[in-house]
Amino acid sequence: MALANTSQIVVTVPEAIAVGEFATKLELPVSKVIGELMKNGVMATINEQIDFDTAAIIGAELGFDVQQEAAPVSEPQGSLKQHLAEGEGTPRPPIVAVMGHVDHGKTSLLDAIRSSHVADKEAGGITQHIGAYQIQKGERWITFIDTPGHEAFSALRQHGARMTDVAVIVVAADDGVKPQTKEAIRHAKEAGGQMVVAINKIDKPGADPTRVRQELSDLGLVPEEWGGDTVMVDVSAKTHQNLDKLIDMVLLVADVEDLRARSEGPADGVVVESHLDSGKGPVATVLIGNGVLKVGDYLVSGSTYAKVRSLGDFRSKRITTAHPGMPAIVTGFKAVPSFGDRWEAVASEQAARARVAAQTRREQAKSLGIKRIDASGLSAAISAGQIREFNVVLKADTQGSLESLAEALAVLHNEEVAIKVVSSAVGDIAESDIAFAKTANALLIGFNVALHSSLRALANRDGVQVKLYRVIYELTDDLRDALSSMLAPEVIETVNGLLEIKGVFKVTKSAVVCGGTVTQGKLEPGLKFRVRHGSEVSGEGTLASLQKDKQSTKEAFEGDTCGLNVNTNAAIELGDVLEFYSVTEKARQL
Ligand code: GDP
């Protein structure tokens, strides 16, 4: 287990914790914790639950070492490993994910390995990122999962670790161990696979790989060259220095795992990328865990299924079969499957449908169980028409982004207004999205996706507002403002003065001329008033004009006796008190 830096206070938290409770554990004001969450793009109120990963990152930023309370060990969700009997199955390539702190060079390293080690540089294929790619070293293949980004989404990183055999932890030699480095190490350990540390950016003048080794040793990862058992390689994604050595080390540690797969029978695996293509429909990159995947097979993944229409390898070359350890591009899904979900081949369309129906029922039951405390009240209020909804259509680059957005938007509500996601899908903004947003009177939001200029013109013509974002909290800020503008303004009433009626001189249908003494405050023409008859309010009206000593005046103060011309249809009697007030409106914030 990783040892904490001894100067840090260790706090333990469960899988999920309310923000307020977390602040109490840290002995910090809750506003400080909320502020830190906001800096990291998480909008959460005091009663909202945050997951352990978020708590760990926020805690680390605030100088704490946050550890998870012991939880029951469960079978990793996305794990590809199948228990095979001794000697059963055939060897398969290792599946490798690159993880680490933002800006430490994950993308650069993946790109560097790809460009230097993928031999077949066919036109187009090489630059297309499909969620995974393969390299060949000598006789052996390695599969790299190519989705290191979206650092905000720890869910993705978690999936990333769980479907992999080897995690390459990238640490920048000029920056050292950071919160997300620790998180990546934790996920890699949880996933139970092997780990290789790539100490990156050694070409930089400020690089200090020894310091990085020291910091990692403090965490319990002692480099082999210091007598420990963690393989660490100094690399540069920029100059490509030691990339070969890194790959050799990945193969070496993968051998410890004795990676074999069942090579016959129905295929199974994990979804590593998915999107909606305007021409091809749902497209998914899947990793094959076991068996052989063929064109025409029926696959079930989560609550969708496919009859495999076409298979492509990672260079988008058409293939007819895909084998264990390979990434394959699959078309034919009915809906876009979710990143990290398992898939399995089944015998027939009928079997696929039955499985999907069962899965949908399970998901419904699960979502009832984990509903937020006030969610049932919220949906009841929506159906009762008390809540006004702000409709949005969401398009995002990946399923993981969509999940994170849905979570971030779900918290934006109060007893009057809420966001309603009328549709959400993976992929660039298409004409159909604009049409849908128009029909639903919705704001069309694109997250990390593109909007073609011709579609921008179409949206303008149709009066559909389209907003593109790359940062979650900018999106949530804007939507919070939009919702705030839908809130009924706060009405603030101020009592300006009181007057006791001493005489009623003339009464018409809609006006009264009367006189009295100001007992409190100040009267001005234009003010509204209530007629207080004993303890009752007998009517309302407006002060039309005011006289003092038979002269028209603009104001009367406490102690003044004055004549009033008021617009009212209420009966005003001797001894009544007129309570003069003014009303101002103040915009509210969600
Ligand atoms: P990621 O956020 O971990 O995916 O990091 P990126 O791959 O986007 O890299 C962050 C920045 O570091 C970019 O500006 C890269 O050009 C730079 N970078 C990455 N690797 C190296 C390296 O080995 N040497 C140098 N000098 N810069 C690097």
pLDDT over 60 (residue 77)? no
Query: Does 136 or 489 have the greater pLDDT score?
Result: 136
Q: Is the pLDDT of residue 109 over 90?
A: yes
Pair (159, 219) in one structural domain: yes
pLDDT at 263 over 90: no
Same domain, residue pair 206 and 127: yes
C-alpha 112 – ligand 1 centre gap (Å):
11
Question: 156-188 pLDDT, tens per residue?
Answer: 455 555 678 899 999 999 999 987 788 888 878
Could you tell me the pLDDT band of residue 84, with boundaries at 50, 70 and 90?
Answer: low
Q: Is residue 547 part of a domain?
A: yes
Atom of ligand 1 at shortest range from CA of 204 = 26
Q: Is residue 265 part of a domain?
A: no
Domain boundary among 451, 486, 521: 486
Give the helix ranges, DSSP H, for 62-208: 106-117, 154-162, 179-191
Question: Ligand 1, atom 18: nearest CA belongs to which residue?
Answer: 105
Residue 424, SS3 per DSSP: strand
Can you tell me the distance from the alpha carbon of 64 to that of 86, in angstroms, rounded to the nearest whole number? 45
Choose the final residue of a domain: 464, 486, 508. 486
Residue 21 lies in a domain: yes
| pLDDT tens for each residue of 61-73 | 888 988 887 644 3
State the amino acid at position 58 in one-letter form.
I
Structure confidence by residue, pLDDT tens digits, 354-405: 888 777 766 654 433 222 223 333 444 444 555 678 888 899 988 878 888 8
Q: What is the DSSP string of 311-356?
A: EE-TT--EESEE-TT-EEEEEEESSPPPTT-EEEEES-HHHHHHHH
Q: What is the CATH number of the domain that holds 395?
A: 3.40.50.10050
State which residues form the domain around 550: 490-586
Nearest-atom number in ligand 1 for the CA of 100 is 3
> Are residues 134 and 194 located together in one domain of the fold?
yes
Mutate to test the pocket of ligand 1, among 108, 174, 180 (most ligand atoms within 8 A of CB): 108
Give the Å distances, CA to CA, from 234 to 92, 94, 204, 353.
27, 21, 12, 50
- Is residue 433's pLDDT more than 50? yes
pLDDT value at residue 113: 92
> Do both 416 and 350 map to the same domain?
no
| Pairing between β-strand 443-447 and β-strand 388-396 as defined by DSSP bridges | parallel
CATH number of the structural domain spanning residue 507 = 2.40.30.10
pLDDT at 387: 62
Q: How confident is the model at residue 1 (pLDDT cuts 50, 70, 90)?
A: very low
Distance (angstroms) between ligand 1 centre and the Cα of 305 equals: 38
Overall domain count for the chain: 5
Do residues 161 and 242 both lie within one domain? yes
How far does residue 210's CA lie from ligand 1's centre (Å)?
19
Closest-CA residue, ligand 1 atom 10, reads 103
Same domain, 103 and 217: yes
Query: Is the sign of the CA dihedral 329, 332, 338, 343 positive or negative?
Result: negative
Please state, for a pLDDT cut of 90, what percent of the chain lies above it.
38
Last residue within a domain, chosen from 30, 51, 68: 68
Q: Is the minimum distance from the CB of 134 to ligand 1 under 6 angstroms?
A: no
Tell me the pLDDT tens digit for each residue of 187-199: 788 777 899 999 9
328, 293: one domain: yes
Whether 242 lines ligand 1, by a CB cut-off of 6 Å, is: no
CA of 490 to the centre of ligand 1 (A): 50
111 lines ligand 1 (CB under 6 A): no
Pairwise CA distance, residues 590 & 476, whole Å: 11
Exposure string of 313-350, with b = 16+ CB inside 10 Å and e = fewer, is bbbeeebeebbbbbbbbbbbbebbbbbbbbbbbbeeee
Is the predicted pLDDT of residue 518 greater than 90, yes or no?
Answer: yes
461 plus 515 within the same structural domain = no
Same-domain check for residues 97 and 237: yes
How far is the centre of ligand 1, averaged over its atoms, from the C-alpha of 175 (Å)? 12
Q: Is the CB of 107 under 6 A from ligand 1?
A: yes
Question: Does residue 400 belong to any structural domain of this protein?
Answer: yes
Closest of 226, 230, 159 to residue 195, by C-alpha: 230
In a domain, 88, yes or no: no
pTM attached to this predicted model = 0.55
73 lies in some domain: no
Same domain, 411 and 299: no
* Residue 192, in any domain of the structure: yes
For the Cβ of 103 lying below 6 angstroms from any atom of ligand 1, the answer is yes
Say yes or no: 115 and 242 in one domain. yes
Same domain, 226 and 287: no
pLDDT one-digit tens code per residue, 14-51:
777 888 889 999 988 888 888 887 777 666 777 777 77
**Ligand 1 geometric centre to CA of 172 (Å):** 8
Q: What is the CATH number of the domain that holds 206?
A: 3.40.50.300
Q: Is the CB of 204 under 6 A from ligand 1?
A: yes
Residue 49 lies in a domain: yes
If you measure from the C-alpha of residue 225 to the centroid of ligand 1, how many angstroms do you get, rounded to a whole number? 26
Q: What is the Cα–Cα distance from 291 to 90, expressed in whole angstroms?
A: 10
| CA 424/CA 398 separation, integer angstroms | 11
